Amino acid sequence: MSELHDECGVIGIFKNDDNVDIVEETYLSLYALQHRGQIGAGIAVNNNGRIIFYKDHGMIPEALPEKELSRLGNGNIALGHVKYSAGGQVDHENLAPLVMRYIKGQLAICFNGALSNYHELREDLNQGAAIFQSNGDTEVIAYLIARARINTSSIEEAVQQAIERLKGAYAIAMMSPSKLIGVRDPMGIRPLCYGRIGGSYVIASESCVFDSMGGEFIRDIEPGEMLVIDSEGVHSYKRKETGKTAVCMFEYVFFSRPDSVVDGVSVNKARQRAGRLLAQQHPVEADVVCGVPDCGIESAIGYAMESGIPYATGLIKNKYIGRAFNNRKKNSEYLMRIKLNALKNNVDGKRVIVIDDSILKGKTSKHIVELLRQAGAKEVHMRIASPPFISPCYFNSDTTQKENLIAARMSIPEMCSYMGADSLGFLSAESLKEIAKDCHLGFCDACFTGNYPIEITDTSRDDKYSKKIES
């Protein structure tokens, strides 16, 4: 139950089949990405160059009511987006898709990631008298594309020129009046893939979208690749020099759904491998292994298989709470208790190994140990299916300050004592490559090692443009 939150999920659909209801397809596909963002959702539909959109705060059913969907039309291209932001409340202007009017008509953009040169780009645009409505990366990218389009002969050229100026992590889905475009950052930090659902081509943050919609995954969009889908088919534009690649290791640890395959690696298998390795590296005598839902479950199963200690459900997560709940004024311990509870029958009188995906601030882990003890656990051994999280991530929307990271301030014995656990063990940093060994690309593991794949010169998202920390 990581205290880090992702981010955003993007979907783009190009309809080739008149029987397809594009709004319905986009809406239902978004459910497969709800885990990537719960603060807001939006859909934009291209009706012969006229883009109609709706976006609002909340989880999908709350943000996208039926009566609003019914007025989006039934065009041939659509974008969908789910948003997460660390700052809690997000202004409506920062929700996506961002729809703008420019010299060539309308353009809509969805974004996942974080630009590490956001301040520099925004300041540059400000000096050119740009007027911004939001404080997010998406509008900066939209401006760059609009400017580039003045001197280019196609949207493809304009997008290529614009992305040359971007640094950082991004997966973008956008639509022009006649094209659906997907772009992945040159290091491949954020995931993006494409496939088919019925007769329609689909770009999505994760492959689980295709499974859940009865579609077909075709392949991951490569680092630095731009994919353009129009009435003539699918066109790929690749950079000649892509340099080093750095797929986000945390996609396997926490961000992605276990039924997704990211760059050739099954997320479910990666988590089970992490659990097996953890059992080898930090064995302990116990009666039962349980996982912290959702992302600790697969690793707990791996630990149980490797150690021979039986797996049992030890913690129950309440999945039916949304934004309105998170905004309540009760103290956080009270709210945590409603979100997560221990299953007394399975832990009472037992020596429990509890597996979580990661630890950031440590408060959730402390709460979990307390819950298990209150439910009667005789011993609580905390095992973490990733190494200590020691450095902030500057490649997603949830950048936390280093001083908030418990592993950056405390030794492992100190953390163990803070949580009140009987023992604490983390997966070794050397094991990370092992858990995603089927991937042919390089990895970013900066939050575990402090070695960033690019130089980080701008460490704050909380700037003079932001009312709140915002993606």
Judged by CB, which is closer to ligand SF4: 210, or 395? 395
Answer yes or no whether residue 393 interacts with ligand SF4 by CB under 6 A.
yes
Residues 6+ apart with CB under 8 A from 448: 249, 386, 387, 388, 389, 390, 391, 429, 432
SS3 400: coil
Q: For residue 111, what are the β-bridge partners? A: 172
Judged by CB, which is closer to ligand SF4: 170, or 395? 395
Give the separation between CA 433 and CA 271, rounded to whole angstroms.
Answer: 12
Size of the site for ligand SF4 (CB under 6 A): 11
Answer yes or no whether residue 395 interacts with ligand SF4 by CB under 6 A.
yes
> Buried b / exposed e across 89-100, counting CB within 10 Å, b at 16+?
ebbeebbbbbbb
| 8 among known catalytic residues | yes
Contact region for ligand SF4 (CB under 6 A) — 93-101, 284-292, 361-369, 445-453?
445-453
Judged by CB, which is closer to ligand SF4: 278, or 447? 447
Contacts for 65-72 with beta carbons within 8 Å, 24 or more apart? Answer: 69/23, 69/27, 69/43, 70/23, 72/23, 72/43, 72/44, 72/45
Judged by CB, which is closer to ligand SF4: 9, or 97? 9
Cβ 136 to ligand SF4 shortest distance, Å: 18
Judged by CB, which is closer to ligand SF4: 189, or 262? 189
Please, are residues 353 and 383 in contact by the beta-carbon 8 Å criterion?
A: yes
Q: What tokens were used for 89?
A: 């409340």
Q: Which of 267, 445, 461, 471 binds ligand SF4 (CB under 6 A)?
A: 445
Answer yes or no whether residue 385 interacts with ligand SF4 by CB under 6 A.
no
Answer yes or no whether residue 441 interacts with ligand SF4 by CB under 6 A.
no
Contact region for ligand SF4 (CB under 6 A) — 17-25, 283-291, 413-421, 442-450?
442-450
Q: Which residue is nearest to ligand SF4 (CB)?
A: 393
Please, are residues 377 and 368 in contact by the beta-carbon 8 Å criterion?
A: no
Restricting to residues 244-283, name those near ligand SF4 by CB under 6 A. Answer: 248-250
Restricting to residues 151-190, name those near ligand SF4 by CB under 6 A. Answer: 189
Contact region for ligand SF4 (CB under 6 A) — 321-329, 359-367, 410-418, 439-447?
439-447
Judged by CB, which is closer to ligand SF4: 445, or 470? 445
For residue 174, give the nearest of 80, 85, 90, 238 by alpha carbon.
80
Catalytic option among 8, 248, 290, 439: 8
Cα-flanking dihedrals φ and ψ of residue 155, to 5°? Answer: -65, -35
Please, are residues 407 and 390 in contact by the beta-carbon 8 Å criterion?
A: yes
User: By the criterion CB under 6 A, which residues form the site for ligand SF4?
Assistant: 189, 248-250, 393, 395-396, 444-447
- Show which residues are catalytic: 8
